[in-house]
Amino acid sequence: MNVKQSVIAMSCAVLLAGCQSVSATGTRTLATFSVDNTQCYDRKAQSSYFAVDSHHHFQPFRGDAVPFDKLVTWAERVGVVFINVYGIGQTYERKPDCFGERGCYSQLISPSIQNDFKNASNYLKYGADNVHITLSMTFADLHKPETILPKMALLEDEFGDLFRWMGEVNLVKAAHFGNGHQAVDKETIAKWQPFMAVLEEKRIPLALHADLGDNNTPLKYLPLLEEVLKRYPENDIIWMHMGISKELSQIDPELHINTMERLFSQYKNLKADLSWRILYDYYFSDPKIQGQYVEFINAHAERFLPGSDFVASKSKRFFDYLEEVDINSRILASLDDNAFRRIALGQNYFSLLDLPYRAPEICIITSP
């Protein structure tokens, strides 16, 4: 362990009782994921944290962000070597003629292309030598599909084909109902066709925040997600947080898993993301419930992506990111080797984006 790693491990032990294997993460580099790498991955000795953070908000809902280069360094320190760089789906609107931060934001929230520009400009300015970055378009207002292609063209004019992902964008997010957001209706989903055709042609996945429902009506919004899946069967759709939200803290895991089971068998274009600590807080922290999900994820290992759902508002520190990576990785440690390799070590992510990387094989340890 070098000095840097031991400092991380020590601080981690002080800060988080459950923090695991951080000392081993420093051994992961982009070379670990080279197609020529023949070294196997030893799960007993190496980190069980995800190597791919496919859900990382480099821009906050309001105000300044942690600097880009710092976020990249933080990822490196915890052994995350692939990042999907998100802006944020909706930002609080600034009041006109108000300068500074305090009191300058209204309670209204709306999509903005500014944070995509900031991320791409920072990427061009700072680069990321040791971490692979995928830029994501978060500007898309799914209520106004006619605005999406012109804005995609704007980003392309400015940044070429740097943007290879769209999301996290909001189909329905109850947490923002009080801020002027409402669910996108079926008639509007039908009008997505032109931009969905371009995403399909360019093989750009669409990452949707789509609440499944709330504690009173757990499957309330499912018809909206299914409308998207039915209408656009050739688009790669990633379902954020498996539809779980703060408003859905108590769905019966069996109902949730059976619903996903049906969706996976009916819609081959659907994948799910395992990000956001509420999945752990509400569900996976109960060993029995975690066991149900582990079994389900193992059985559908090719359908899942890992991530932190970290939101980089400027008050955040390295240990905040470490904590999110730690908590969102806990379930990964219990997966079987195939699922761990596909999800935590990124094989699903590489296949989805056609990236020239390969997750290492898992070492087979035979007892003496």
Residue ranges that bind Zn ion, judged by CB under 5 A = 168, 309
Burial code (b: 16+ CB inside 10 Å, e: under 16) for 92-122 equals bbeeeeeeeeeebbeeebbbbbebbbbbbeb
Which amino acid is present at 352?
L
For the bound state, the minimum distance from the C-beta of residue 105 to Zn ion, rounded and expressed in Å, comes to 19
Say how many C-beta atoms besides its own lie within 10 A of residue 335's C-beta: 22
For the bound state, the minimum distance from the C-beta of residue 308 to Zn ion, rounded and expressed in Å, comes to 9
For the bound state, the minimum distance from the C-beta of residue 82 to Zn ion, rounded and expressed in Å, comes to 17
CB nearer to Zn ion: give 168 or 320. Answer: 168
Phi, psi for 259 (deg, rounded to 5): -65, -45
Burial code (b: 16+ CB inside 10 Å, e: under 16) for 220-239 equals bbbebbbbbbeebeebbbbb
Q: Can the peptide bond before residue 101 be classed as cis, meaning omega within 30 degrees of 0?
A: no
CB nearer to Zn ion: give 74 or 310. Answer: 310
Handedness of CA 239, 242, 248, 252 (dihedral sign): positive
For the bound state, the minimum distance from the C-beta of residue 57 to Zn ion, rounded and expressed in Å, comes to 6
For residues 139 and 111, is the Cβ–Cβ distance under 8 A?
A: yes
Closest CB to Zn ion: residue number: 309
CB nearer to Zn ion: give 26 or 307. Answer: 307
CB nearer to Zn ion: give 141 or 309. Answer: 309
Tokens of 73: 């360094």
Spatial distance between the Cα atoms of 345 and 328, rounded to a whole number of angstroms: 14
For the bound state, the minimum distance from the C-beta of residue 55 to Zn ion, rounded and expressed in Å, comes to 6
CB nearer to Zn ion: give 306 or 360. Answer: 306
For the bound state, the minimum distance from the C-beta of residue 167 to Zn ion, rounded and expressed in Å, comes to 9
Closest CA to 48 of 74, 78, 82: 78
**Residue 139, CA atoms < 13 Å, CB-side half-sphere:** 22
CB nearer to Zn ion: give 326 or 334. Answer: 326
CB nearer to Zn ion: give 309 or 326. Answer: 309
For the bound state, the minimum distance from the C-beta of residue 149 to Zn ion, rounded and expressed in Å, comes to 24
Closest CA to 189 of 147, 232, 220, 221: 232
For the bound state, the minimum distance from the C-beta of residue 209 to Zn ion, rounded and expressed in Å, comes to 7
CB nearer to Zn ion: give 183 or 359. Answer: 183
For 349, counting Cβ atoms within 10 Å of its Cβ (0-12 exposed, 13-18 middle, 19+ buried), the class is buried
Say how many C-beta atoms besides its own lie within 10 A of residue 185's C-beta: 12
For the bound state, the minimum distance from the C-beta of residue 89 to Zn ion, rounded and expressed in Å, comes to 7
CB nearer to Zn ion: give 205 or 360. Answer: 205
Which amino acid is present at 366?
T
For the bound state, the minimum distance from the C-beta of residue 310 to Zn ion, rounded and expressed in Å, comes to 9
CB nearer to Zn ion: give 21 or 329. Answer: 329
The residue count of the chain comes to 368
Task: For 7-67, give the DSSP string.
Answer: HHHHHHHHH-TT---HHHHTT--GGGG-TT--PPB-TTTS--S-SEEEEEESS-SSS-B--
**Residue 273, CA atoms < 13 Å, CB-side half-sphere:** 32
